[in-house]
Amino acid sequence: MGVHKIERRAVFLDRDGIINRSIVRDGLPYPPASASELEFTPGIENTLRTLKEAGWFLVIVTNQPDVARGTATRESVEEIHSLIRHQLPVDAVYACYHDSGEGCECRKPRPGMLLTAAREMNLDLSRSFMVGDRWRDVDAGNAAGCHTIFVDYGYTEELKSRPDYVIDAPQKMTDIILQQKEEKGESNS
């Protein structure tokens, strides 16, 4: 018998709007410009601790095109990520610093960040979730073969593909994710 690697489940989380509050202008969300503007979404710390204690890997996957556009520095974005990792039980942060016209594989709606994380961390995408508040998050999760949870804040953009679940606040993801685990009869390991 060969050695079988057990693949782990993950919750992939968009950053802006899920982990931290977005700054909404003209019906569209924008990231905080600096660490001083970072404000976590209500209840996200308890939500992530509950998921972590239940055995889920927590991975942030975030598009940060303002770096390519010259309106943010990579250092300021990484400072925000450092604060998040210091304060929340997150296992990894994957960021795409490209703009939409650059044709990279990592920028959502492409699934590159999820596929890279799955390969590097031995994650089972079919047993994982992607949680986000933009159509790009849902499309990336669907393309990667994850269950998708869309947090609907009523932005002025339309979804391009259908999410598995729709909620109105990030902390509501916990019941969906933990129920999925129970339905499959899985243990906490």
Q: Is 164 among the residues known to form the active site?
A: no
DSSP for the chain? Answer: ----PPPBPEEEE-TBTTTB--EEETTEEE--SSGGG--BPTTHHHHHHHHHHTT-EEEEEEE-THHHHTSS-HHHHHHHHHHHHHHS--SEEEEE---GGG--SSSTTS-HHHHHHHHHHTB-GGG-EEEESSHHHHHHHHHHT-EEEEE----SS--SS--SEEESSGGGHHHHHHHHHHHTT----
User: Pick the catalytic residue: 16, 66, 137, 139?
Assistant: 16
User: Pick the catalytic residue: 14, 133, 137, 139?
Assistant: 14
Q: Is 14 among the residues known to form the active site?
A: yes
Give the residue numbers annotated as catalytic, written as ranges.
14, 16
